[in-house]
């Protein structure tokens, strides 16, 4: 008579461990979607011991952007007589406002000051002050998509400014066609100064 071999039972705790390990594996290896369009490097965190200092900037050298809870964009600035203005701006208009602010081609008194600066590789050029800033304030309820849209319009503005300056200074070459040192010269002339620090005198809607 043949002996019946007893089959060992399945260890329930081992199965649970395997299932848990598989879950962790899939969580680690599953690729997550990333937002495209923002390629601007964020500034490094300041050391803990470093005290935050207020930076005084002439009012004309600051473009204050407010994106409110309704995703509406407002520019707050002073006019030529020093009176505060609130200018509602559509998203497709923002780039042109930013380009004018970054370059001030007509030397308007309510846009950044023009100055003669030494640009590496080019010599002296008349450009706007390097001490300007575009300051963005988003409300808590501002949608993330509108936040991305505003950032992208500002990046487009800088690309347009850099492209125009590159063509003027380097024989018609686009910014992307420049060498690394030539690109640095262009960005020295028009550095990107975008801040997301909330300014105390930013007018709220």
Taking the C-alpha atoms of residue 183 and residue 191, their distance in angstroms, rounded to an integer, is 11
* 3-class secondary structure, 105: coil
> What are the pLDDT digits (tens) for 87-146?
999 999 999 999 999 999 999 999 999 999 999 999 999 999 999 999 999 988 999 999
Distance CA 94, CA 38 (A): 17
pLDDT of residue 83: 78
Q: What is the mean pLDDT of the chain?
A: 80
Task: Report pLDDT for 169.
Answer: 96
Predicted confidence band of residue 197 (pLDDT cuts 50, 70, 90): low
Q: Does residue 151 register a pLDDT over 90?
A: yes
What are the DSSP calls for the chain, one per residue? -PPPPPPPPP-HHHHHHHHHHHHHHHHHHS------S--PPPPPPPPTTSPP-PPP--GGGEEEEEE-TT--EEEEEE-TTS-EEEEEE-HHHHHHHHHHHHH-TT--TTSPPEEEEEETTTEEEEEE-SS-EEEEEE-TTS-HHHHHHHHHHHHHHHHHHHHHHHHHHTTT--GGGS-HHHHHHHHHHS---EE-PPPTTPPP-
Asked if residues 97 and 89 have their Cβ atoms less than 8 Å apart, the reply is yes
What is d(CA 147, CA 137) in angstroms, rounded to the nearest whole number?
Answer: 10
pTM: predicted TM-score of the whole model, two decimal places = 0.69
Question: Would the pLDDT of 3 be above 60?
Answer: no
More confident position, 130 or 34? 130
pLDDT at 202 over 70: no
Q: What is the pLDDT of residue 84?
A: 81
- pLDDT tens digits, residue range 75-85? 988 777 777 88
User: Rounded distance, CA 151 to CA 144, Å?
Assistant: 11
pLDDT (mean) for 57-64? 86
What are the structure tokens assigned to 84, written together?
Answer: 């505060």
DSSP state letter for 155: H
The tens digit of pLDDT for each residue in 173-187 reads: 999 999 999 999 999
pLDDT surpasses 80 at 28? no
pLDDT > 90: what percent of the chain?
A: 58
Q: How confident is the model at residue 18 (pLDDT cuts 50, 70, 90)?
A: confident
Strand pairing report for 133-138 and 194-195: parallel
Please name which of 184, 104, 192, 108 lies closest in space to residue 154, comparing C-alpha atoms. 192
């Amino acid at each position: 008579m043949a002996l019946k071999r007893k089959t060992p039972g399945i260890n329930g705790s081992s199965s649970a461990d395997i299932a848990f390990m598989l879950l962790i594996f899939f969580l680690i290896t599953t690729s997550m979607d990333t937002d495209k369009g923002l390629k601007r490097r964020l500034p490094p965190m300041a050391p803990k011991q470093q005290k935050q200092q207020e930076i005084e900037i002439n009012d004309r050298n600051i473009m204050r952007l407010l994106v409110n809870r309704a995703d509406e964009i407002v520019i707050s600035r002073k006019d030529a007589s020093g009176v505060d203005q609130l200018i509602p701006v559509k998203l497709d208009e923002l780039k042109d406002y930013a380009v004018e602010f970054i370059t001030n081609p007509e030397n308007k008194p309510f846009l950044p000051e023009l100055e003669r600066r030494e640009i590496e590789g080019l010599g002296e050029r008349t450009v706007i002050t390097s001490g300007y800033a575009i300051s963005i304030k988003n409300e808590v309820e501002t949608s993330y998509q509108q936040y991305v849209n505003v950032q992208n319009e500002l990046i487009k503005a800088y690309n347009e400014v850099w492209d125009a300056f590159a063509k003027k200074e380097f024989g018609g070459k686009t910014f992307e066609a420049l060498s690394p040192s030539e690109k640095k010269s262009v960005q020295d002339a028009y550095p990107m100064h975008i801040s997301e620090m909330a300014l105390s005198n930013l007018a709220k809607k």
